[in-house]
Amino acid sequence: MLPRLLALAVSAALAGGTIAAQQPTSTATTTRAKGASSAPITVYEMSDFQCPYCRRFALETFPVIEKEYISTGKVR
C-alpha cells in the first residue's frame, strides 16, 4: 500500500501537482538523508525499532522505494 501511495505522490509532484515538499534544515536530518538534495520530494520517515511493522517496512518496503525512487533522484 505504501509504495502505491508514494508512487502517486511522486507522480503528482513531478506533474506539477499541489504536493509541497520542504527541504530539511536540521543537521541531523541532512546527515541521515538518502538521495539527491535536488530531488523534488523529500520523504521523512520515522520508525520504532521494536515495532514489528516498522521492521517489515525496513526489510521489505524500503528497499523497493530506495531502488525505484531514491536511486533515480525522484525522492530524497
Per-residue pLDDT of the chain in tens (76 residues, 90 and over written 9): 555 555 555 565 555 554 555 555 566 667 788 888 888 988 888 889 899 999 999 999 999 999 999 999 999 9
Question: Distance between CA 64 and CA 73 in Å, rounded?
Answer: 14
Residue 20 is predicted with a pLDDT of: 52
* Of residues 63, 52, 68, the one with CA closest to residue 7: 68
Write down the pTM of the prediction. Answer: 0.57
Residue 59 is predicted with a pLDDT of: 94
Residue 49 is predicted with a pLDDT of: 83
Question: Distance between CA 17 and CA 31 in Å, rounded?
Answer: 28
